[in-house]
Amino acid sequence: MFSKLALRNVARSFRDYGVYLLTLTFGVCLFYTFNSLDGQGAMVYLAKNGNPIVDAIMVLMDVFSVVVAVVLACLILYANRFLLRRRKRELGTYLLLGLSQGQVSRLLFLETGLIGLISLAVGLVLGVLASFGMSALTLSMFEVDLSALLAVNFSPRAAGKTVLYFGIIFLLVMALSGVQVSKSKLIDLIHGERKNEILKPRPLSIAVVQFLLGVACLLGAYAILLIFGMALAVAVPFLCFPMLGLGTAGTLLIFRSLSGFVLKFVQSHPGVYFRNLNMFTLRQWISKVHTTYLAQTVVCILLLLAIGITASSLGLNSTLSAMTGGEAPFDITVQNRSADDAGLVDLPALLREGGFDPDTQLTRQTDFCVYYNDPAVTGVEDVSGVLALSDVNALLKLQGKKPIALEPGEHRMLDTWGDGLVTGSLGIFAAVVEDSSAQQLEVRRQYWSADYVGEDKMETEERLLQLIQPLELELSMRVESRLSIYADMMGNKCLALFLGLYLGFTFLLAATAVLALQQLSQAADNTGRYAILRRLGAEEKQVAKSATQQVALAFLLPLALALIHSAVGMKAANDIIFSVGKVDSAGSSLITAGVILVVYGGYFLATSLACRRMAKNA
C-alpha cells in the first residue's frame, strides 16, 4: 500500500513540483559534469603533454565539489521544507484516516527515495551529455584540431562520487522529513496552509531610516572595495570582514525597508492601489515580508556571486587568449645562444639535410641577429643588445605592423618579447640602430622564426623538433613554439573557465531555485484566495496577471540590486585582471547576461506559468 501511495504522490509531484525535480536533476547533472573533467578531451590533451595544471585542476575540483555539495544540500533541504509545508494538510489527512506518525514518516521516506533515484538517473544521463558539450567547448578554444579526442565518455569515478554525495543528501532529507512530521501536531498540519504571517504596519519614518542606513552601509562597502582594491580587501582581514559585513547589512536593510516604502507609496496613489487586483497583489507580497526579505537578501548575494564569478572567469579567459597571441607571433622561434662563439647556423640547410623541406612546409621565415653593444659605435649607453633597423622592419612587415624610421644617429629602444616580435620568452631588450652601425658590431645571438604550412601543425612541429632538439645541447639552442605556449596557457584558461562556470552555475541554480520554490509554495497557499476573488467577480485575466506580478516582484527586486553589486565588484575585479592583460569587459558581460537570461529567465517563466496554472485551477 505504501509503495503504491508513494508512487502516486511522486507522479503528482512531477506535475505540481516540476521545478523542484528539475532543480534536483540539474544539481546532479552539474555535479557530475565538473567531476568528470579528467576524461574530457581538453584535460586528456593537457595530461598527454605533461601539463602540471591538470593535477591542480582536479585537486581544486575535488575541494570545490565539497563546497558545491554543501550549497546543493542546503538548497534541497530548503526546498523540501517548503514542499512539506505545502503538504501539511495532506499529511494531516493521513493522520485523520488512522495512519500513525511513523507510517507517515515511512511514506515520506519512500517518496524521497523514489524522487532521489529518478533525479540521480536522469541527472547522470544529462551529465554525460553535458560533459560532452563541455568537452566540445574547451576543445574549440584550442588552435589545433583535437576532434579525435571528442567522444561521449562515462566516468565511473564521477558517477560514484555523485551517487555518494547526493545519496548522503537524500538520506539527510529523509531523516529530517520524518523528524519534522513526528514533531508536528495534527491541528497544525490541518490548518498549516491557512497560516499567514502577522502584518504589523510600520511607520514610514522607520522604513526611511532603514533605507538610508542600508544605502550608507552599501556605500561604505563599495568605498572599501574600490579604494583598496579586491585583492587587498580580501587579503587583509580587517578590511575584508567590514566590507562583507557592511554589504550584507546594507542589502538586508534595503529589502527590509522596501515593504514599508512600496506599501505607503502605492497607498498614496489610490488610482494605482485600487486598480484591478493591485491591492490584493501588494497585500499578498507584503504578507510574507518577514521571510521574503531574508530570502531576497540570500538570493541577491547568490546572484552577486554567480554574476561576478562567471563574468570574471570569462573576462580572464579572454585576457589569457589575448596574451597567448601576443606571446606567440610565430609558430616557432629558435635562438642560437652560441652564435658569438660557434658562429651563425644555416638552420634551413640543416633541416633539408634531415629530410624536412622548409620551403614547402614553412612560411614567414625570418633570420636576424642581436649584436653586442659598443657605445663608441652606437652612442647608446646602458644596453647590452643592439638590433639592425632592417631586421626589425622585416619582422614588423611579416606581422603587418608599421615600420620604424630613424634619423641619422638616432636610436630607439625595443623589447622583442614585450612587443611581440619573437615567440616565447626568448626576447631581449635592445636598441635599434641603423644598419651601418650594426654591421660594425659583434654578433651576440641569432634568431630564426617561421610559421607552419597546413592545418596539421602538431605533426609538422613534431618532425621539426626531432631535427632541432639534437642541436640544442650541441649548439646551445633554445626553442619556443606557439603550441607549447598555448598548451601552458590553455591549462590556465581551463582552470579559470571550469572553476568560474562551476561555482557560477551552482550559485545561480541555488538562487533561482530558492525563488521558484518559494513562489510555488506561496501560490499553492493562495489557491483558496484566488477562488474567493472569482466569486467576487474578478476576471480570469486579472487573477493570472496578479499571480505573475507576485512572481515578478520576487524575481526582479533581488536581481536589480545584485546587478548594482556586480557592477562595483566587476570594476574591482577588472582592475586585477587588467594588471596582466587587456580585459574584454563587454564580451564577458554579454555572455554572462545571456547565461543569466537563459537560466534566471527560464526559471521565472516556468514559475510564472506554474503559479498561473495553480490560480486557474483554484
Whether 290 shows a pLDDT value over 60: the answer reads no
pLDDT digits 0-9 by tens, 384-432 = 788 888 888 888 888 778 888 887 777 777 776 556 677 766 767 778 8
CA-closest candidate to residue 77, choices 180, 208, 153: 180
- Residue 7 and residue 10: Cα distance in Å, rounded? 5
Q: Given 140, 167, 195, which residue is the final one in a domain?
A: 195
Which of 94-98, 362-366, 585-589 tops mean pLDDT?
362-366
Q: Which helix (H) or strand (E) holds 429?
A: strand 429-433
Q: Is position 124 within any domain?
A: yes
Residue 213's pLDDT band (cuts 50, 70, 90): very high
Q: Which domain range does residue 371 map to?
A: 338-475
Helix (H, G, I), strand (E, B) or coil at 282: helix
Residue 197's pLDDT band (cuts 50, 70, 90): very low
Q: Is position 111 within any domain?
A: yes
Q: Given 442, 475, 508, which residue is the final one in a domain?
A: 475
Whether 291 shows a pLDDT value over 70: the answer reads no
For the entire predicted model, the pTM comes to: 0.67
Would you state the pLDDT for residue 184? 65
Would you state the pLDDT for residue 345? 82
Please give the single-letter amino acid code of residue 18.
Answer: G
Would you state the pLDDT for residue 217? 92
The DSSP string of 163-223 is HHHHHHHHHHHHHHHHHHHHT--HHHHHTGGG---------HHHHHHHHHHHHHHHHHHHH
Would you state the pLDDT for residue 382? 77
Would you state the pLDDT for residue 410? 78
Q: Is position 149 within any domain?
A: yes
Can you list the pairs that 78-84 forms with residues at least 24 positions away whose Cβ atoms lie under 8 Å?
A: 78/514, 78/517, 79/20, 79/23, 79/513, 79/514, 79/517, 80/112, 80/173, 80/176, 80/177, 81/180, 82/517, 82/518, 82/520, 82/521, 83/17, 83/20, 83/517, 83/521, 84/108, 84/177, 84/180, 84/181
Which of 51-55, 73-77, 559-563 tops mean pLDDT?
559-563
Q: What is the number of helices (H) and of strands (E) in the chain?
A: 25, 7
- Residue 41 and residue 150: Cα distance in Å, rounded? 6
Q: Given 195, 225, 244, which residue is the final one in a domain?
A: 195
Q: Is position 579 within any domain?
A: no
Provide the domain count of the chain.
2
Q: Is position 458 within any domain?
A: yes
Q: Is position 245 within any domain?
A: no
Taking residues 601-617, report their average pLDDT.
Answer: 82
Whether 54 shows a pLDDT value over 80: the answer reads no
pLDDT digits 0-9 by tens, 447-478 = 888 888 877 777 888 888 888 877 776 677 88
Whether 440 shows a pLDDT value over 80: the answer reads yes
Whether 505 shows a pLDDT value over 60: the answer reads yes
Q: Taking every pair of C-alpha atoms in the chain, what is the biggest distance, in angstroms?
A: 107
Taking residues 153-182, report their average pLDDT.
Answer: 81
Whether 185 shows a pLDDT value over 80: the answer reads no
Q: Is position 367 within any domain?
A: yes
Q: Is position 223 within any domain?
A: no
